[in-house]
Chain A
Amino acid sequence: MKDPASFSSRALTVALAAALVLSLALVARPVLDLRGSGNDQGHSPEQPIAYSHRLHAGELAIPCLYCHFAAEKSRSAGIPPLSVCMNCHARVTAPFIDVRAEDAAALKEKRKPRVLMSEEIRKIYDALGLTSDGTPSPDRTPSPVRWNRVHNLPDFVYFDHRPHVAAGLICQTCHGPVETMEKMSQHSDLSMGWCVNCHRRTKPAGTVRRASTDCATCHY
C-alpha cells in the first residue's frame, strides 16, 4: 500500500509539470509570432463587412481616391462613409453572375425577376436603416459600421497623407498590392526605419531637397 502522503505529493508535482507544459504551449505561440514591439506587419483583422479590395480595386479598377477621397486633403485617408458605397450599391445588390442566373430563371418561369441582395451588401442597408428597396425602414435606426483599423501608428507619430499624395506617391508604395487583397492586411512594417529610409532616398517630384528627416516632421 502506497503512502497516501507521498501519492498526493507526486500528484501535485505531475499537476504542476502539466500546468507548466500547458502554459509554455500557450506562451509559445505568441512568442513565435513575435516581431519588434509595435510591429504589426501582416495585421489583417476580420471586418464587420467582408469588403474585398481585390474585387473593387483590382477587378473593377475603381481608383483608390474614389472611396478614400480624404487622402488628398486630410491627414487621414479615411474610411468612406456608407453613402459612397451606395453610389453603386443602390443599384448593384448582388454578384452579376447571380443576377444573370435569376434573370434567366425568371424569363424561363415567365415571372418578374426577384431583387437579389447578397448577405454583405445587406449589412450596408441595415446600417443605413434601409429596407431592400432603399426606403427607410421603420424598425431600424441607422448606426455606423465599426470597422477594425488595419493600419495603426503609435500616438506619438503623426503621419499625414497629403504631402505623400501631393509628392506623387502611389498608394501601393506603402499599402502594397491592395488590388489583390481579398481581406485588407498591413503590407509594410510601418517602423520608423522604414519611413526614414524612404525619406532619405526620396526627392519629392519637382524639388531639389530630399524629404525631411527632422524629428519634428513626424513627432510632436
Chain B
Amino acid sequence: MSQKARKRYWKSLKERAGAGARESREAEVDVAMSRRSFLKAVGFSLSAATLSACSRSRVFKAAPHLVASEGVVPGRAAWYASTCGGCSAGCGALVKVRDGRPIKLEGSPAHPISRGGLCAVGQASILELYDSRRLKSALWGGNPASWSDVDARILAALKGVKTRGSSVRVLTGTVTSPSLEHAIARFLAGFSDGKHVVYDALSTSAILEAHSRTHGERSLPRYRFEEADVIVGIDADFLGTWISPVEYSAGWRSGRTLEGTPPRMSYHVQYEARMSLTGANADRRVLLAPGFEALLAEHLANEVAARAGAPAPFGASAPCPVDARQLKDLAGRLWASRGRSFVVCGTNNLAAQLAVNQVNHLLGSYRRTLDLQKPSFQRRGDDSTLRKLFDEISGGKVGALVIHGCNPAAELPAAGASWQEALGRVGLVVATSSHLDETSRLAAAVVPDHHYLESWADAQPAAGVAAVVQPVLRPLGDTRSALESFALWTGKPQSALDMVRGTWRASMHARQSSEASFDDFWNRTVQDGFAALAVGGRAVRPFDGGAVRSASRASAGPPGTGLALVLYPKVGMLEGRHAQNPWLQEMPDPVSKVVWDNYASLSPETARSLGVEQGDLVRLSTDAESLELPAFLQPGQKDGTVCAALGYGRDGTERFFDVGPDWISGKPTVPHGGRVGRNVSRFLSFVDGQLSCTTWSVRLEKTGGTQALACTQDYHSLKVPERLAEHPGETRDIVRETTLAEYAADASSGNPSEPSALATLWPTSSGKTGRRWGMTVDLSACTGCSSCVIACQAENNIPVVGKDEVARRRDMHWMRIDRYYADIEAGIEAVHQPMLCQQCGHASCETVCPVAATVGGEEGLNQQVYNRCVGTRYCANNCPYKVRRFNWFEYRRADAQENMVLNPDVTIRSRGVMEKCSFCIQRIQEAKIEAKRLGVPLGTEDILTACQQSCPTQAIVFGDLNDAKSRVAARMKDPRRYRVLEEIGVEPAIGYLTKVSNRRV
C-alpha cells in the first residue's frame, strides 16, 4: 500500500473548521411540575393504564368482495406494468397493488429507457394519488360545477371563438403521449387559428433549436452514455435532474463497470458553477462562471478541430475561461476516443449548443454516442413559440387557452405585468390541473385530469419505444382524463381506452412483426408495459457547419457583472410539480442535505466577503425583482455566484404547517399561511429567445433576519469523538477511494487491510451455517441520487416528521446517503455513501437493550421487535453507524387519506419505539413462504430489497453470504470490499466496494 497521506473527509464546513461534529445539545425543556400536577399525572396514567388493560379488543369488520374476481386474492399483491408519470422521461414502472390499493412503484427491469431503476420523484408520485387536496370535481369560476354544465359553457365559448375566427392555443409541457398529441391536433383542427404550444419549465429548447439548424430537424438526440469513454458535461446535471436522469445514470454506470482488462471506466469531466450531483460524481470537476459555457465550447471546438486537422470553426475570441492547458489535454482525450465520446451541455443558450454540436460533429459522436436516427422525445418545448404566445396573450389576441400538464403562472416569468392581468386578456382559460394552483386559480374552467395511475394513456419517450399507461384503480374523485376532455370538445366523445387503442391500432401495430393480430399485440404490450417498434429509415441531414458560423457568436463574457444568480432544479423537486409531496420535501438534497427549503447558496469565500453566514436572510434583487432567501454555504461552488432552486414557494405548500408533531416546543414546518421555500422563477428571463436560468448583476444584502435551515449532515457523524481520539484529527476510513490507474495495478489499492480487530469476547460466527443475509454497496456506482431513500420510505411506511424534527436530529429515514467532501488541490471532491443498518453479527445495540427488543436472528439479521421495545434508546446511543431512529411522537400523517399508501406488510411504529432498517424482512419472508408453498428451494437472488430494486445504477446487491454461488458472496470476495468501522469488531453484514474513479489523472 502506498504511504500517501490519507484524504481527510468532512461532512460540513463546521467539521472542516475543526469544531468537529459536536452535536449541540437541544435546549432542554424546562417543565415546572408541582406536587399537585405530579399527583394528577400519576393518577391519570395509573387509571389510563388500568382501563386500557381492561379493554377487550374492538370488533373489526371484514367486508369480502361480493363476487370474486379471477386472479385477485385478498392479501396478495398484484403487479401491473405501466409508465411513470413523474416527469416526461417515461421510465417503465411496475405498480404493486394490494387489495385494490396501489402502494408502491418499482422500476420495470426490461424497460429500454429506465432499465430497472426508478428515481425518487417517480417513486414518490404514488403518494400524490392519495392526496386529499386533489380536485374532486370540475370547477367553473372557482366553484364546483357539474361536468355537463362546465362542458356546455366551454363548448359555447369555443363556438363563439370559432365564429369570430379568433385564435385557440393549447399550452402544455412536453407531451410524449401520441394519443394525446393526436387528440390535441384534432381539437385544434376545428379552428381557423389553432396552435399547440409546448414548453418545458426546465427548458432544453436551445438543444432542439441548435439541432434544427445543424441537422435540419428539431430533435433531441438520444444520449448513449453507456457507449461513451469520455464524457464532458457543461452545466448538465444528467445524473440528477437533466431530461432523463434514470436512463443517463444507468448508461453512465454501465460505462464504468471496471469489467475487462484493462478495466473499463469512462472519463467524465464536468464544468459547472454550482455543486450539482453530477459534478459531485465527476472524475474531474472544473468551476466555470455562468455565462462562459458558449465560450468554453467554442474553445473546445477549436482545440478538437486542431487535432482533426480541420480549420478552426470559430475565429479569435476572448481568452479561454478555464485553464487552457487542461482544455488542450481534454481535447486530446476526446479526440483519442473520437466516436466514443461526447459533450453535453445543459445551458439553454443557442450559441453554446451550436458550439457543442460542432464539437460533437468533429468527434464523430453523431454516429454512435448521440443518436439522431432514433431521437428522444422526452423534451419538445420550444421557447420561441412560448415567447410568441406571450406576445399574443398580452396583445389580447387569444380567444381560448387550454392549459394542460403544466403550471405556467408558477413556473414562468409573467407574460405581461402579471399572470392575472395576462390571462384576463384571454377570452376563455381552461386548465386541467389536478390542484387549485397558481394557474388554475386564474382559469375560468378547471377540468381536473386523473392521476396517471387512474387513467389509460400512452407514451413514446424515444423513437422505437412506445409504452402504455394503464389504470390500476378507479378514479378517487370525479375527475376526467384530459384525452376524453379534448375528444369531447372536438365533438367526438370517446373513452380514453378507445382513443389509446385507436392510436396503437393505426400507428403502432404495423411497426412490429411479432404479433399479427392487434389484440395479441395490445395484450402483450399491456402486460409488458412497453413495445419495441421499428423506426422507419429516417434521413438525418448531414451536419451543416455554416449554420454554426452564421449564428450569433458567443460574447466574450456574460452580459453583466457582479453576482450571478443561477436558478437550478433540485433533485426531487424539479420544476415544482411535486411540491405538495411531503416525501420529496423531506428528502435531503443529495448534495446540500437540506430539507424543506430552498436557499441562496454561496461559496464560503463569497459569503465571507459579503459578511453573510449560514442562515442569514438575504435579499436578492435586480432592477425588476427582489426576493428574500436564507443563505446556505456550499463548498465547491464558484465564487461570485448565488444559486437558488426552482420549484419552491408553491401554492398548496401552506398545507404543511401542521406536518410534524404538535408539542410545546414544536415549530411549524412552514409558518401559518406560508409556503415551503420561495418561488424564484420570476428571475427567469428570455435571452436570445431562450429561457435563461441565469441573471447577472444581482444585488445581495443581509436583511438582518435569520432563518434556520434543517440539514441532515450536521449530525449522524461516524467520526471518532474528539475527546476519545488517541491523537487529534484521528480519521476513520469510512469511505475509501482509489483511482483507475492504481486499481489497474492493484485491485486492492485504496483498501488497505486493517490491523486485526481487538480480542473479542464473542463466540466466533464463522462456524455458523445456514443463511446469512448480507449486502454490498458499490461506491463506484452510487451517485447519491436518493431514489433508494424514497423506495425505503414507501416500502417501510416511514413517516414524515417535518422540518423542526429534522433540525432536532429526528429524521426517520432508515436509509440515508452520507455525503463526504474532501479537499483536493483544485477545490473539493465529494463521495456518497448509502448508510443503513449494518445488521452486525456482534451488534452493539443488542447487548445494551434491557428488554431484548433487538436481538440477533438465526439468519444473521439484527431484528427489531417493536412490541417489546420500551424506548430506552440505549441501542441508538450505542450504534456506531447512527442508523437507529426513535419515534419521539406518533408521527401521523397530516393528510389522513395518504394512509392508503401504507404497506400492509410492515408494522406502523408507535410513539416510544425504536426502528431501523430490517433488510426488507417482509420481502424475505414473502419469498420464503412462497418457496415453501410451492415446494421449491428459495431463490435468494430473487429477493430484492426496496433500495436495491430502485437503484438506477445497481449499486446495491443483496443476498445470502453463505451461498458461495450468490452475487453478494462473490462481491464480498472482491479485493475492493471493505466494511465500515470494521476495526471495532461488530461484524457488519454490509460490504462496501471502494470507489474507483478516474480522478487525479
Contact = CB atoms under 8 A, between A and B. Distances in A.
Interface in B810-869: 855, 857-859, 861, 863, 865-867
Nearest to A220: B921
Nearest to A84: B68
Interface in A133-191: 142-149, 152, 154-158, 160, 162-163, 165-167
A166 B932 contact: yes
B863 A215 contact: yes
A142 B65 CA distance: 11
B67 interface: yes
A154 B867 contact: yes
Contacts of B964: none
Contacts of B918: 216, 220
A70 B74 contact: yes
Contacts of B866: 156, 219
A59 B851 CA distance: 49
A81 B64 contact: yes
B17 interface: no
Contact of B61 (A43, A83, A148): A148
A163 to B, nearest CB: 5
Given A166-B932, A219-B865, A219-B907, A214 B859 contact: yes
A142 B866 CA distance: 41
Interface stretch (B49-57, B237-245, B620-628): B49-57
A32 B876 CA distance: 42
Interface centre among A84, A154, A214 (most CB of B within 10 A): A214
Contacts of A219: 863, 865-867, 907
Nearest to A153: B57
Given A76-B74, A82-B67, A216 B863 contact: yes
A142 B63 CA distance: 13
Given A160-B929, A216-B918, A220-B907, A37 B863 contact: no
A62 interface: no
B877 to A, nearest CB: 22
Nearest to A216: B863
Interface centre among B65, B75, B918, B929 (most CB of A within 10 A): B75
A167 B67 CA distance: 30
A152 B930 CA distance: 23
B723 interface: no
Interface in B66-119: 66-68, 73-76
A132 to B, nearest CB: 17
A148 B921 CA distance: 30
Nearest to A48: B61
Contacts of A217: 925
Contacts of A102: none
A80 B64 contact: yes
A128 interface: yes
A1 interface: no
B64 A145 contact: yes
Contacts of B928: 163
Given A80-B64, A144-B65, A214-B857, A73 B867 contact: no
Contacts of B932: 162-163, 166-167
A66 B374 CA distance: 55
Interface string B920-953: 0110010011101101000000000000000000
A148 B60 contact: yes
Given A147-B61, A220-B918, A127 B907 contact: no
Interface in A181-204: none
Interface in B885-934: 905-908, 918, 921-922, 925, 928-930, 932-933
B933 A146 contact: no
Nearest to B67: A83
A13 interface: no
B631 to A, nearest CB: 43
B832 to A, nearest CB: 28
B66 A144 contact: yes
Contact of A146 (B61, B855, B921): B61
B29 interface: no
Interface in B313-331: none
Contacts of A155: 907-908
A131 interface: no
Contacts of B858: 212, 214
Interface size range of chain B in the complex: 35 or more
Nearest to A74: B75
A37 B53 contact: yes
Interface in A43-78: 43, 45, 70, 72-76, 78
Contacts of A78: 64, 73-75
A218 B908 CA distance: 14
A126 to B, nearest CB: 11
A90 interface: no
Interface centre among A72, A154, A212, A219 (most CB of B within 10 A): A219
A76 B61 contact: no
Nearest to B52: A37
B933 to A, nearest CB: 5
Contact of A81 (B68, B925, B930): B68
B68 A162 contact: no
Contacts of A143: 66
Interface centre among A33, A75, A143, A148 (most CB of B within 10 A): A75
B664 interface: no
Interface centre among A40, A45, A149, A156 (most CB of B within 10 A): A156
A69 B914 CA distance: 38
A219 B918 CA distance: 11
A84 B62 CA distance: 16
Contacts of A37: 53
B540 interface: no
Contacts of B929: 160, 162-163
Contacts of B863: 214-216, 219-220
B417 interface: no
B745 interface: no
A12 interface: no
B757 interface: no
Contacts of B758: none
A79 interface: yes
B59 interface: yes
A30 interface: yes
A5 interface: no
Contacts of B74: 70, 74, 76, 78
A67 B905 CA distance: 24
B57 A128 contact: no
Contacts of A158: 905, 922, 925
A212 to B, nearest CB: 6
A97 interface: no
A106 interface: no
A31 interface: yes
A15 to B, nearest CB: 23
A34 interface: yes
Contact of B66 (A38, A73, A81, A160): A81
Contact of B57 (A147, A152, A166): A152
Contacts of B62: 79, 146-149
Given A73-B933, A220-B918, A81 B67 contact: yes
A76 B75 CA distance: 6
Across chains A and B, which 6 residue pairs bring their CB atoms closest together, nearest first? A74-B75, A76-B75, A75-B75, A81-B65, A144-B63, A83-B67
15 contacts: A78-B73, A81-B64, A81-B67, A82-B64, A82-B66, A84-B68, A145-B63, A147-B61, A147-B62, A149-B59, A154-B867, A167-B932, A216-B918, A217-B925, A219-B866
Interface of A: 30-31, 33-34, 37-38, 40, 43, 45, 70, 72-76, 78-84, 127-128, 142-149, 152, 154-158, 160, 162-163, 165-167, 212, 214-217, 219-220
Given A83-B66, A162-B930, A212-B858, 20 more contacts: A43-B57, A70-B74, A73-B76, A74-B76, A78-B75, A84-B68, A128-B67, A144-B63, A144-B64, A148-B62, A155-B907, A156-B866, A156-B867, A166-B935, A214-B859, A215-B857, A216-B857, A216-B925, A219-B907, A220-B906
